Amino acid sequence: MDQKKAEELIRRLAAALRGTELYSPSHPLVQRGIDAFTSAATERLQSSPSVVIGFIGDEVVVDGARLPRGTASLIGFARDLRDRGIEKVTLSRGLSRAEVGGLIAVFGDRTSRTPLPDRLAAKGVRNVTLGRIVVDEVSDEQAGIAAARRVYSAAVETAESLWNAAKAGDQPDPAAARKIIDGLARLVTQDRTSLMALTALKKYDNYTFTHMVNVSALAMAQARALNIEGPLLREFGFAALMHDIGKVQTPLEVLNKPDKLTNEEFGIMKRHVVEGAHILRRTPEMPALAPIVAFEHHLKQDLSGYPENIGSRKLNLCTMIVSIADVFDALRSNRPYRQGLATARIRSIMGEQGNPAFNQALLKRFVNLMGLFPVG
Ligand SMILES: [Fe+2]
Ligand SMILES: [Fe+2]
Q: Domain limits of the chain?
A: 3-131, 140-370
State in Å: Cα 253 to ligand 1 middle. Answer: 16
> What is the pLDDT averaged over residues 257-286?
94
Let me know: does 265 contact 254? Beta carbons within 8 Å: yes
CATH class of the region 140-370? mainly alpha
Burial class (CB in 10 A: 0-12, 13-18, 19+), 7: middle
Name the residue with higher pLDDT: 70 or 108.
108
- For residue 344, name the pLDDT band (cuts at 50, 70, 90): confident
- Is residue 82 within 8 Å of residue 62, measured between CB atoms? no
Q: Are strands 65-66 and 59-62 parallel, antiparallel or unpaired?
A: antiparallel
Mean pLDDT of 362-368: 92
Among residues of the chain, what percentage have pLDDT more than 70? 94
Mean pLDDT of 209-234: 96
Nearest residue to 370 via CA among 333, 334, 328: 328
The phi and psi torsions of 34 (rounded to 5 degrees) equal -65, -45
What is the C-alpha end-to-end distance of the chain, expressed in Å? 61
The closest ligand to the CA of 307 turns out to be 1
Q: How far apart are CA 192 and CA 218, in angstroms?
A: 10
More confident residue, 322 or 78: 322
pLDDT of residue 54: 83
Which ligand is closest to the CA of 240, given by its number? 2
Reported as a single tens digit per residue, the pLDDT across 84-112 is: 778 888 898 999 999 999 998 888 888 88
| pLDDT category of residue 116 using cuts at 50, 70 and 90 | confident
Among 15-24, 48-57, 126-135, 208-217, which is the least confidently predicted range?
126-135
pLDDT for 139: 61
Alpha-carbon dihedral sign for residues 101, 133, 21, 15:
negative
3-state secondary structure of 67: coil
From ligand 2's centre to the CA of 37, what distance in Å? Answer: 64
- Mean pLDDT score of the chain, rounded to an integer? 88
3-class secondary-structure state, position 186: helix
Q: Could you tell me the distance, in angstroms and rounded to a whole number, from the CA of residue 349 to the centre of ligand 1?
A: 18
Q: What is the β-pairing status of strands 50-56 and 88-92?
A: antiparallel
How far from 242 is each of 11, 176, 236, 326, 331, CA to CA, in Å?
A: 59, 13, 10, 11, 19
How high is the pLDDT of residue 216? 98
Closest of 336, 297, 321, 319 to residue 207, by C-alpha: 336
User: Which has the higher per-residue pLDDT, 260 or 71?
Assistant: 260
Cα 252 to middle of ligand 2, angstroms: 15
* pLDDT for res 375: 42
Ligand nearest the Cα of residue 274 is 1
With contact defined as beta carbons under 8 Å apart, do 372 and 365 qualify?
A: no
Q: pLDDT value at position 23?
A: 83
CA dihedral sign of residues 361, 365, 367, 368: positive
HSE at residue 372, side-chain half, CA atoms within 13 A, is 24
Give 304 Cα–ligand 1 centroid separation in angstroms: 15
Exposed e or buried b per residue across 335-350, where buried means at least 16 C-beta atoms within 10 angstroms of its C-beta: eeeeebbebeebbeeb
Dihedral pair phi/psi, residue 203, rounded to 5°: -105, 150
Amino acid identity of residue 163, one-letter, is W
pLDDT attached to residue 374: 47
Per-residue pLDDT averaged across 267-293, rounded? 95
**Section 37-41 average pLDDT:** 94
- Residue 19: name the closest of 117, 104, 103 by CA: 104
**Does residue 301 carry a pLDDT above 70?**
yes
| CA 243 – ligand 1 centroid, Å | 6
- At 70, the pLDDT band (50, 70, 90 cuts) reads low
Q: Which pLDDT score is estimated for 376? A: 40
